[in-house]
Amino acid sequence: MGKRVAIGLVVILIIGAVAVWFHLRRRENSIDYHIRAFTTVHPESDNLFRRTYRSLESAGIVPASTPDYVKRERHRDALVRLGYLQRRVCVVSNYDAGRILSEMTRITAGMVNTGAMWGVHGLQTNSLIISAPLADLDRLEAAIHKADAARELK
Q: Where are the domains of the chain?
A: 1-83, 84-154
Report which of residues 93 and 62 the model is more confident about: 93
Residue 119: its H or E element = strand 119-122
Q: Give tens-digit pLDDT for 70-94.
A: 888 888 888 888 888 888 888 888 8
Measured N-to-C along each axis, helices 30-40 and 2-28 cross at an angle, to the nearest 10 degrees, of 50
84-154 CATH:
3.30.1370.120
- Provide the pLDDT for residue 12: 92
Q: Where are the alpha helices (DSSP H) in 29-87?
A: 30-40, 48-59, 68-81
Give 92-143 pLDDT, tens digit per residue.
888 777 777 777 777 777 766 655 566 776 666 788 888 888 878 888 888 8
Report the predicted TM-score, pTM, of the whole model to 2 decimal places: 0.61
